[in-house]
Amino acid sequence: MTKKSTSKSRVSKGASTVEAGSGSATPVDELDETAARDELERLAAQIAQHDALYYREDAPEISDAEYDALRARNDAIEARFPELVRDDSPSRRVGAAPVAAFGKVRHTVPMLSLGNAFDDEAVTAFGERVRRFLKLSEADLLEITAEPKIDGLSISIRYEAGQLVQAATRGDGTEGENVTANVKTIKEIPGRLHGKDVPEVIDVRGEIYLSHTDFAHLNARQAESGGKIFANPRNAAAGSLRQLDASITARRPLRFFAYAWGEASQLPDETQSGVVAAFKRWGFPVNPLMNTCKGADQLVAYYRDMQEKRSKLGYDIDGVVYKVNRLDYQERLGFVSRSPRWAIAHKFPAEQATTVLRDIEIQVGRTGALTPVAKLEPVTVGGVVVSNATLHNEDEIARKDIRIGDTVVIQRAGDVIPQVVGVVEDKRPKNAAPFKFPHVCPVCQSHAVRESDEKGGEDVVRRCTGGLICPAQAKERLKHFVSRNALDIEGLGEEKIELFYDEGLIRRPADIFTLQARDEKSANPLAGRKGFGQRSVEKMFVAIEARRRVPLERFVYALGIRHIGETTAKDLARAYGTWEALRSSVEAAVKDGKGSETYAEIDNIEGIGETVVDALVDFFSEEHNAQALGKLLEQIEVAPFERVSTTRSPVTGKTVVFTGTLVRLTRNEAKAQAERFGAKVAGSVSKKTDYVVAGADAGSKLDKARDLGVAVLTEDAWLELIGQG
């Protein structure tokens, strides 16, 4: 495909840059195989250089005609010597044959999200937390990088021996979509890295985005052709990348900033800023606005500067990202839940708009929670059309005195979730009455009650009591089961779950995995129905089959047990390793009761408390849950938890308890370090504890360890055991 430019042209700076396309070059039909191979290598490098000058530096050195001559010569040589086509050939960067569907890629190093700061105090607190964790004094230098937070699509690009071999979206952080063919069409992303310090293996991560100008031109072309009009640049970038036909992606002006990495066989520097500088040397575009700061005052000043420049950058940003600069500090800080301790995103204030609240709809969730949703006159907030917004719960409606017919202020919290901030009272209709929250379920008409919370007060959430008979809860549990962070079954979304439930095709999770067999025997198969097609049905069944083996942490989360989210599910999976071990432990706690040793063993797991143990016991105590689980496990296999540690060590798989005051490590640092070396950290001592690491003033945990004969280590002995002494 010939490149065209409406905003700039390539300016020739000498015939030497384009000798391959000049009349003096050896004609293609006179090249032998050796000469052709050398010529293709030179052309690949030369065209890549001009791509970089054109798309990244805005400093083209040759005209469009001269560039086209280079491409034409490359294509002619490849046509004559097809066996010599290179992996980094320019012909492979302008399109590819359509793929049937995106495959899945498991990230070797998870793509985690960032914690958020929404004010200056949170930024100061971030720096203070880092200093406490690392035990730094005020005199110790702590450098933190600051860079614009690009509002685009996160991507991980894997290079082996300098060659681009795979690209994947973030997905759920653990597993993403394989978009290699599409990423190879993006001119700003090099197909081959150049430099003496390029690692043998590295996953370069960054953001794919559209500039404001390119977005406007794209929508104009879409309107002319009758195509989809995109709501904002980020949606357009995501939609452009996720095309099944990579040639469509090639025609979209996608751009890229590199700013991070995943797996790396080695790194070119010992700082965040140094590695990003290496990215630039290797051929990646990096954000020139990245800066290194010392102290919270400099970070906040940088944030203010970005706020002022935001509208003039030419691309969307939604905040600033701060990262501890030293990589050894990052290693020590580690991670908490799904976020690194060494980085945080300072978000810009949410954009607001006013509109009319037409109605309040009550939705019933999988745990029976009645959630009020505002049905709005559609309004654009932050570039997105909003017609629904959360009202949280009945207390919030009463506190803000929100009434149907009110003019309300809407904002997208964190620029994502629409919510009602308040009411414009002077625009309230005279007949607007206070909203009466229902005390019965709108779906099954069962009583809806507010339970007692942990402190003996009233829960803010009103819940339907008809758990076993309420279709809404059953549907929502099924939707949760197939959702992205649970089993992630593509093609089986909310609308299909609604339809299949109403028709009796899927009433419980096990029915999902018998659907194909039943459909093949049906007199009215899905492929023959209106709204379905042979291809889409086949893809759905393939996606279902692909989930017959599911990781333990996903399975636990997918069950939809109250109080067990993704983090808690992973904590349980990490502690037990297998579904059989987890089920056996909980069933023992059900049998022995609260206060028993088996109950305490679950409660002692780091990150697990009585609320979670009670939820597990309640779930496993219900006979209908046991029956549903039994049917489900006849259809699927639950894979053991995959432990991710930096290295195998003497404490891999061991259970460790820290007690007392440590000198060389903070308690949080010690826990993070133990998990990094493959150990399980518990909150209290039991006969299953392998080591107790005792600091100064260790109390009852040390006494219990001695009573049970558990090995007790000093802090120095612990560090020596894991090779960190």
Residues marked as catalytic: 149
Q: How far apart are CA 371 and CA 556, in angstroms?
A: 24
What is the DSSP pairing of strand 637-639 with strand 549-551? Answer: parallel
For the record, the structure tokens of 8 come out as: 């700039």
Residue 496, phi-psi category: left (phi > 0), alpha (psi -120 to 50), beta (remainder)? alpha
Q: Are 713 and 656 in contact (CB under 8 A)?
A: no
Amino acid at 166: Q
Q: Are 160 and 89 in contact (CB under 8 A)?
A: no
Smallest Cα–Cα separation from 190: which of 250, 68, 274, 280?
Answer: 280
Q: Which residues partner with 169 through β-bridges?
A: 155
Q: How far apart are CA 650 and CA 647, in angstroms?
A: 10
Q: How far apart are CA 585 and CA 607, in angstroms?
A: 17
Find the angle CA(613)-CA(617)-CA(621) to the nearest 5 degrees: 175
How many C-beta neighbours within 10 Å does residue 74 have?
24
Q: How far apart are CA 235 and CA 209, in angstroms?
A: 9
Q: Which residues partner with 372 through β-bridges?
A: 362
Q: What is the end-to-end Cα distance of the chain in Å, rounded?
A: 60
Q: Are 101 and 112 in contact (CB under 8 A)?
A: no
Q: Annotate 224-289 with DSSP letters as a single string.
A: HHT-PPPSSHHHHHHHHHT-SSHHHHHTS--EEEEEEEEEES--S-SBHHHHHHHHHHHT----TT
Q: Are 476 and 364 in contact (CB under 8 A)?
A: yes
The CB-side HSE value for 380 (13 A sphere, CA atoms) comes to 4
Q: Annotate 207-241 with DSSP letters as a single string.
A: EEE--HHHHHHHHHHHHHHT-PPPSSHHHHHHHHH
CA 577 to chain centroid, in Å, comes to 24
Q: How far apart are CA 189 and CA 179, in angstroms?
A: 13
Q: Which residues partner with 713 through β-bridges?
A: 693
How many C-beta neighbours within 10 Å does residue 109 have?
13
For the record, the structure tokens of 215 come out as: 């977005």
Tally of residues, the chain: 725
Strand order in the sheet with 711-713: 680-681, 655-659, 691-694, 711-713
How many C-beta neighbours within 10 Å does residue 423 have?
19
Residue 226, phi-psi category: left (phi > 0), alpha (psi -120 to 50), beta (remainder)? left
In this structure, what are the phi and psi dihedrals at residue 659, rounded to the nearest 5 degrees?
A: -145, 155
How many C-beta neighbours within 10 Å does residue 465 have?
16
Tally helices (H) and strands (E) across the chain.
Answer: 24, 26
Q: How far apart are CA 326 and CA 143, in angstroms?
A: 7
Q: How far apart are CA 590 and CA 625, in angstroms?
A: 14
Q: How far apart are CA 613 and CA 591, in angstroms?
A: 13
Q: What is the 3-state secondary structure (H, E, C) of 389-456?
A: EECCCHHHHHHHCCCCCCEEEEEEECCCEEEEEEECHHHCCCCCCCCCCCCECCCCCCEEEEEECCCC
